[in-house]
Amino acid sequence: MSDRRALLGAAMGTLIEYYDYALLTVFLPIMMPLFFPDRSVYDSLITGYFFLIIPYLFRPLGGLFFGHIGDTRGRKMCMLMTVCGIAIATTLIGVTPSAHQIGMSAGIVLVCLKAMQMFCFGGEYHNAGIYVIEHAPQAKSGRYSGFLTASTMSGSLLAFILGYFLT
């Protein structure tokens, strides 16, 4: 695989992951009352923040787990596993019924799916960085890894721009 294709693939995957990561933050005030109905929108938002802390604890565990897989079985396979896991979790989050339809289990399902997503996300970003550096020309490894980091901010920026225009 060419070094530019490796960079572009890893950067696009990372951009999409951070886009999704930031999109939840942008739309949290709209989404949380659907999954955590409380007395007020503010209470739902605070409850949502507390319940979403749990999935973020899974990110370093995913980094450890997928880091080991990347070291022993190869980065390309590891990145494919993480991207597929993230895609499955994201799709299921998108079709999860609200608390109005299935009660408080909607919030539990959301937390579990977000935990799966964050677990895979923890493995994707770091493996993508190592994969890019392994495929970069020696003289350009810093530039390539910098481009990968810039793609994270680009994904977040796209999410906030979308949120600005849609809210």
With a cut of 70, say whether residue 6 has pLDDT above it.
Answer: yes
List, for residues 16-63, the tens digit of each pLDDT value: 888 888 888 888 888 888 888 877 878 877 887 887 788 889 999 999
The per-residue pLDDT for 144 is: 79
List, for residues 59-105, the tens digit of each pLDDT value: 999 999 999 998 999 888 888 899 899 889 989 988 999 888 998 89
Closest Cα to residue 83, out of 73, 75, 93? 75
Distance CA 64, CA 73 (A): 14
- CB neighbours (10 Å) of residue 66? 25
Name the phi and psi angles at 50, rounded to 5.
-65, -40
Distance CA 156, CA 116 (A): 20
List, for residues 108-153, the tens digit of each pLDDT value: 898 899 999 999 988 888 888 888 888 778 888 788 788 888 888 8
